Amino acid sequence: MRANINYDNDYRFEFLGQSLLLLPEHALLWTNKNILLISDIHLGKATHFRKSGIPIPSGIHDQDLIQLDKLLEKYAVEKLIFLGDLFHSMYNREWEIFDKWLATHSETEFHLILGNHDILPLSIYTSSSIKVHKNTYVENPFIFSHIPMKKEELDPDLYNIAGHIHPSIRLMGKGKQNIALPCFYFGSYQAVLPAFGVFTGKYPIIPSQTSRIFAVANNKIISI
């Protein structure tokens, strides 16, 4: 049974007749379907960099799995959809750690939409409990993808939710201070989620007049 949930730091966004919770953990909870959406964890990236001679601390991705544990315990979702770039590159032992982690959450259905960094042999994914989708996955009224889709590619009845970009918004202070904050972007036909992984970068986006931006700051969601 789900424990009492404190939603103080979450942002409830009513959109297309659906109730979405934007989470400061850089995740989105679709409450109507009890689905958690995560993008761009890039597990295995630290080991990949160390093999290239770049001194990245071991265990950096443990924080990502701990955060996922907390979200799954808090919200007890039925389904978790990874919007690509789950694993950063070639096979390394961090996949084995992740595979064991998956086994501890047998009550959750896992889906992966393959990203440009998800280059492991398909057999590795399918030998785990993850259901793999090559390009898109549809749950009306949304179509999920890794790379944001072009408007002309979309069914007009579906709204695209994607990742890949690692969006951030730059805010300026009165004293010319500025800071780039990870953000959720909602445009006229697609949304982009912030990167979930600790070991990821940020890409500044320029909002349009019709877009909605929600920044993550001090463990809270702020509507810009």
Looking at residue 59, its pLDDT comes to 61
Q: Give the pLDDT confidence of 139-189 residue by residue, as tens digits.
A: 999 999 999 999 999 999 999 999 999 999 988 766 667 788 999 999 999
Phi, psi of 116 (to 5 degrees): -65, -20
Between CA 169 and CA 182 the distance in angstroms is 6
180 strand-pairing partners: 170
Q: Give the pLDDT confidence of 76-125 residue by residue, as tens digits.
A: 999 999 999 998 666 667 888 899 999 999 999 999 999 998 888 989 98
CA distances from 23 to 16, 153, 156 (A): 19, 29, 27
**What string of DSSP letters covers 3-47?**
PP---TT-EEEEETTEEEEEETTTEEEETTTTEEEE----BTHHH
Between CA 142 and CA 108 the distance in angstroms is 20
Q: How confident is the model at residue 43 (pLDDT cuts 50, 70, 90)?
A: confident
Looking up tokens 């694993």 gives 87
Domains in the chain, CATH or no CATH each: 11-223 (3.60.21)
Please give the structure tokens belonging to residue 167. 């969006």
Q: Give the pLDDT confidence of 58-77 residue by residue, as tens digits.
A: 566 578 899 999 999 999 99
Looking at residue 199, its pLDDT comes to 53
Please give the structure tokens belonging to residue 63. 């924080």
Looking at residue 53, its pLDDT comes to 46
